[in-house]
Amino acid sequence: MNADLRKFIDELYEDGKKFDSAEAEWSRRRRNIDPPAGEFLWIFIKALQARSVIEIGTSNGYSTIWLADAVRATGGTLVSVDYDGAWLDQAQANLRGAGLLDSVELRCLEGGAYLESLSDQSVDFMFFDAERSDYARWWPHPSRVLRSGGVIAVDNSTSHPQEIADLYAQINSDGGFSSVVVPVGKGELIAVKSGLAAPTRL
Ligand SMILES: C[S@@+](CC[C@H](N)C(=O)[O-])C[C@H]1O[C@@H](n2cnc3c(N)ncnc32)[C@H](O)[C@@H]1O
């Protein structure tokens, strides 16, 4: 990430922390991922050479900027979905400010409905940072749409392990995944689908 973009994203994060600490209503908080988690996802996408990337839970686009910069480097596409259009308006402004609006498609959709609409084995990397109680009912679509060798990353895996326990159980009982919780930021569950097929070509 270049120094100007890093400065932009660091200021956005600090602003978000101040905003959230002053906001009593939980759903109006930005609840951005921690910077080390952003760096981890950024490097992971580039190492995987992921080209078809999706994010569920955009908020004001802080994590989206990390993902979009990585996807710009892999030459792929990023779709970020949030069911709240007001958040997407903020994300659009922040992505424009970061110079990354052209690298992202923002869509106002419920995460499960979006996953259901995708073709089999069409996604290289998916990141979940939405309402955690929703994840389990999205199954089996995350597994169905992920290509062999693709990755599911789930935030809050050490901060709220009970809230992602049902999804974790589904991943582990699927039989086609290897998984680990990486203690970075609020914890990233990383689940890799078996197989070594090449990243999706767009
Ligand atoms: C924790 S915030 C996302 C923070 C963002 N990833 C970041 O780090 O900057 C969660 C967001 O997910 C959205 N959301 C929650 N459940 C959702 C669902 N089932 N489908 C789509 N969006 C959802 C909320 O509107 C909210 O903007």
Q: What is the pTM of this model?
A: 0.95
**Distance in angstroms (rounded) separating the CA atoms of residues 39 and 63:** 10
In sequence order, which residues have a C-beta less than 8 Å from that of residue 72 and are 6 or more positions away? 100, 103
The answer to whether the peptide bond before residue 142 is cis (omega within 30 degrees of 0) is no
In sequence order, which residues have a C-beta less than 8 Å from that of residue 29 and are 6 or more positions away? 19, 20, 23
Residue 59 lies in a domain: yes
Residue 126 lies in a domain: yes
**Measuring CA to CA, how many Å separate 25 from each of 11, 17, 137?**
23, 14, 26
Atom of ligand 1 nearest to the CA of 57: 12
Residue 96 lies in a domain: yes
| Ligand 1 pocket check for 62: Cβ under 6 Å | yes
Q: Does residue 156 carry a pLDDT above 80? A: yes
Segments forming the whole domain that contains residue 96: 32-193
Residue 199 lies in a domain: no
Residue 198 lies in a domain: no
Pick the range with the lowest mean pLDDT from 11-20, 45-54, 126-135, 173-182. 173-182
For residue 155, the CA-to-ligand 1 centroid distance in Å is: 11
For residue 56, the CA-to-ligand 1 centroid distance in Å is: 6
Tally the domains of the chain: 1
What the block records as the tokens of 90 is: 């903020």
DSSP state of 200: P
For residue 75, the CA-to-ligand 1 centroid distance in Å is: 25
**Burial (0-12, 13-18, 19+ Cβ within 10 Å), 20:** middle
CATH number at residue 74: 3.40.50.150
**pLDDT of the residue at 196:** 55
What the block records as the tokens of 109 is: 């959709």
Mean pLDDT value of segment 63-86: 97
